[in-house]
Amino acid sequence: MANHKATEKDTRQVKKRRERNRYQGKTTRNAIRKVAASATFDDAAKELAGTISMIDKLAKNNVIHKNKASNLKSKLAKKVNAMKNAVAEKPVKAKAKKAAVKKKATKK
């Protein structure tokens, strides 16, 4: 147990900081999961900016290491870009097939 007033105060401050850090960390992890589980690219892109901001704040306040923050942001961006590419590739392939069929039909 603390024997000095300053030590008692420090203990109270540490407890407050720990609770705040745990809350912010958990909220950020949930936001990361939400972005990763998004069904469409548009939803993921909307959530990505806010989530990256949350990750940056955690790194700025030394809740997580700056390299971990960078890795998390990179992984999220890759997932969202993969969604974008998957959405972009499907319609292009379908249009290309239709155009090829039309060309064959006109040649006969």
CATH of the domain at 27: 1.20.58.110
The per-residue pLDDT for range 68-85, each reduced to its tens digit, is: 999 999 999 999 999 988
pTM of the model: 0.73
- Name the helix (H) or strand (E) containing 96: helix 66-107
Number of domains composing the chain = 1
Residue 64, number of CB atoms within 10 A of its CB: 19
Per-residue CA distances from 25 to 1, 78, 108 (Å)? 29, 21, 65
- pLDDT band, very low/low/confident/very high, at 20 (cuts 50, 70, 90): very high
The per-residue pLDDT for range 86-108, each reduced to its tens digit, is: 877 765 555 666 666 666 666 55
Quote the domain boundaries for residue 70: 5-107
